[in-house]
Amino acid sequence: MNRQLIAGLIVAAALVAGGGYYYWQQRADAPAPTPVAAGPHIDNPLAPTAPVPLPTLADSDDPFGADVATLFHSATLPELFYPTHLARRVVATVDNLPREQVAATVRLMRPPEGALAVRGEEPSLSLAPENSARYAKYLELLAGVDSHQAVAVYRKFYPLLQQAYDELGYPGHYFNDRVVEVIDHLLASPEVADPVPLIHPSVMYKFADPRIETRSAGQKAMIRIGRDNAQAVKAKLREIRALIATQPPA
């Protein structure tokens, strides 16, 4: 899912062109970020903060990871996270959520344990209610995050996140606008009543309803995690949106 992505939004708040890990390595010595000037591309400007010394993007894993860990009342980053290229993973994950899929090489968090829980047999397969339990660890992390503290971490490291977004292929565009756009996209995820029919045409299960299957990776993830979990995620996203957005939902 991009269960990882959703949690990434929360943590950061808060890579789709195919460079992946190789691209990161090639750009390890990128110059310090240039502040983005206010202009027509900025719809949701973040309020100015007192400048603080920041590491380079290439050297940001330890300090950024340490601050993210504090959101979970921990001295170290939870093991569910991939600890390397953390800022770039946050940016790439956020950017990928409204797209067809999230590339495995840029995911922020490790996938849940176990296989997708399914009930019935073909041609009457459906998503099993117990599938939502696979995401319990992620929801526990989410529930413990204070939205104001998460946004404080996000704003502190925002120059590095903006740099990563520029390098991803969006120079002149404002990353916080993309974050708000993606939050709105996830909040627009439909609530699908049980049972949720599935098909199994190959190795991977798919939603039987093409109106669901053709939705983005992020919205399908919101359906896959279960209605109660999705409502908890949406509540947290609304809290964060209120702290970082100046424009109402489209």
| pLDDT digits 0-9 by tens, 18-53 | 233 323 333 333 344 444 444 447 999 998 888 899
Among 175, 184, 138, CA closest to 4:
138
Q: What's the pLDDT band for 14 if we cut at 50, 70, 90?
A: very low
pLDDT (average), residues 189-212: 93
Mean pLDDT taken over the chain:
86
**pLDDT reported for residue 194:** 87
Give the pLDDT of residue 32: 43
Taking only the tens place, the pLDDT of each residue in 88-141 is 999 999 999 999 988 888 899 999 988 999 999 888 999 999 999 999 999 999
Provide the pLDDT for residue 49: 87
The pair phi, psi for residue 205, each rounded to 5°, is -75, 150
- How confident is the model at residue 9, as a pLDDT? 58
Exposure class string for 205-241: b at 16+ Cβ within 10 A, else e: bebbeeebeebbbbbbbbbbbbbebbebbbebbebbb
The larger pLDDT score, comparing residue 114 to residue 7, is at 114
Q: What is the pLDDT of residue 178?
A: 97
Convert the pLDDT of each residue in 124-183 to its tens digit.
Answer: 999 999 999 999 999 999 999 999 999 999 999 999 999 999 999 999 999 999 999 999
Question: In the prediction, which pLDDT does 103 show?
Answer: 81
Q: Which pLDDT value is given to residue 96?
A: 94
- 90, 161 Cβ separation under 8 angstroms: yes
Is residue 5 scored above 60 in pLDDT? no
Residue type, 249: P
> Which pLDDT score, from 0 to 100, does residue 220 have?
96
110 close to 103: Cβ distance less than 8 angstroms: no
